[in-house]
């Protein structure tokens, strides 16, 4: 059984509200745990959501505005305090190295050696994660910002009834998978194609080509929709998207589930419905207007 879900830790943009913490998202993907854009208070939100420092294997920061990274010092110091033994990769825009170093060493603490920086730069950067490929592409925001995409490679899924028909079991299954055949039986005879799953995380950007490139065909799209259409001019000026634009991206890219988040503090609780409605004008799929501590499963694998 795969265990793949997004745990929403915070959903506000620059200013938290009574019901929304600053940004923060934890993606559980089998034995990997990717923490995206930890804003202030993320450590406590993790506590409330039942996510521990030991669960984190990667941290990805889209850009160095405070609502996307001021939680890093607390998370890093917690990783150190809890003695997390495994490597934790940290991905962030290379041009923000100074900010990274300040946040990495923000205060006095007994440091850890497990955190490995992976600054990204250029038109596209890829990194291998266990069982996944991470792709970073630059977005359009007043400071350098990168969106991220995770792709599981396609593979093949064994068909139990076919395996038993040929009398293949135990260690033979693994051998057939690795070597492509076992005696007269080929892998194709006892398996079927398995489409890899994918997700994209797109924060703080105007509409640009890379928004579409990152979102193309993903199962789960987590995307900022800071504003409603009534504030479209403000959105453009400050480098943000509206809910309607997020819906247009999801429709054009053919995504399977759309998660809207990073809401301006100007909106009150009753506005929440309007974000979903604006996105639904273009996108007919599954829309989630994120709330803090919500859990969103990655849609079941395409067959």
Catalytic machinery residues:
67
For 189-252, give the DSSP string: HHEEEEPPPEEEEE-S--S-HHHHHHHTT-SEEEEE--B-GGGHHHHHHHT--BHHHHHHHHHH
- Which of 9-17, 74-82, 170-178, 191-199 is the region at the interface with Zn ion (rule: CB under 5 A)? 9-17
Closest separation in Å from C-beta 39 to Zn ion: 8
Closest separation in Å from C-beta 93 to Zn ion: 14
Closest separation in Å from C-beta 14 to Zn ion: 6
Q: Are strands 198-202 and 191-194 parallel, antiparallel or unpaired?
A: unpaired
- Residue 13 in contact with Zn ion, rule: CB under 5 A: yes
Closest separation in Å from C-beta 259 to Zn ion: 15
> Which listed residue (40, 67, 151, 292) binds Zn ion by CB under 5 A?
67
Closest separation in Å from C-beta 70 to Zn ion: 11
Nearest to 63 by CA among 112, 103, 11: 103
In whole angstroms, give the CA distance from residue 204 to residue 105. 25
Ordered strands of the 257-261 beta sheet: 125-129, 132-138, 146-151, 198-202, 220-224, 257-261, 286-289
> Which listed residue (204, 219, 278, 292) binds Zn ion by CB under 5 A?
204
- Residue 37 in contact with Zn ion, rule: CB under 5 A: no
SS3 call for 296: strand
CB 137 within 8 A of CB 172: no
- Residue 45 in contact with Zn ion, rule: CB under 5 A: no
Q: Are strands 155-158 and 198-202 parallel, antiparallel or unpaired?
A: unpaired
Nearest to 290 by CA among 240, 221, 231, 238: 221
User: Residue numbers of the site for Zn ion (CB under 5 A)?
Assistant: 13, 67, 204
């Amino acid at each position: 059984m795969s265990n793949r879900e997004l745990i929403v830790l915070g959903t506000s943009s620059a200013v938290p509200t009574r019901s929304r913490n600053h940004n923060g998202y934890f993606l559980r993907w089998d034995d990997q745990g990717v923490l995206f854009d930890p804003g202030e208070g993320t450590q406590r939100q993790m506590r409330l959501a039942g996510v521990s420092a030991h669960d984190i294997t990667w941290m990805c920061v889209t850009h160095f505005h405070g609502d996307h990274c001021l939680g890093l010092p607390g998370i890093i110091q917690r990783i150190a305090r809890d003695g997390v033994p495994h490597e934790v990769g940290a991905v962030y825009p290379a041009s923000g190295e100074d900010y990274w170093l300040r946040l990495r060493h923000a205060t006095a603490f007994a440091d850890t050696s497990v955190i490995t920086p992976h600054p990204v730069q250029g038109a596209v950067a890829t990194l291998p994660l266990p069982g996944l490929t991470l792709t970073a592409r630059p977005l359009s925001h007043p400071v350098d910002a990168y969106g991220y995409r995770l792709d599981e490679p396609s593979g093949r899924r064994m068909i139990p009834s076919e395996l038993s028909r040929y009398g293949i079991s135990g260690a033979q299954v693994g051998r057939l998978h690795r070597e492509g055949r076992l005696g007269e039986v080929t892998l194709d005879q006892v398996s079927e194609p398995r489409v890899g799953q994918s997700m994209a995380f797109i924060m703080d950007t105007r509409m640009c080509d890379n928004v579409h490139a990152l979102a193309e065909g993903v199962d789960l799209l987590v995307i900022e929709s800071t504003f409603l259409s009534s504030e479209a001019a403000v959105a453009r000026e400050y480098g943000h998207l509206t809910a309607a634009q997020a819906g247009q991206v999801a429709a054009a890219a053919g995504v399977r589930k759309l998660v809207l988040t990073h809401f301006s503090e100007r909106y009150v609780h009753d506005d929440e419905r309007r974000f979903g409605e604006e996105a639904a004008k273009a996108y007919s799929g599954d829309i989630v207007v994120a709330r803090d501590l919500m859990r969103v499963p990655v849609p079941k694998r395409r067959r």
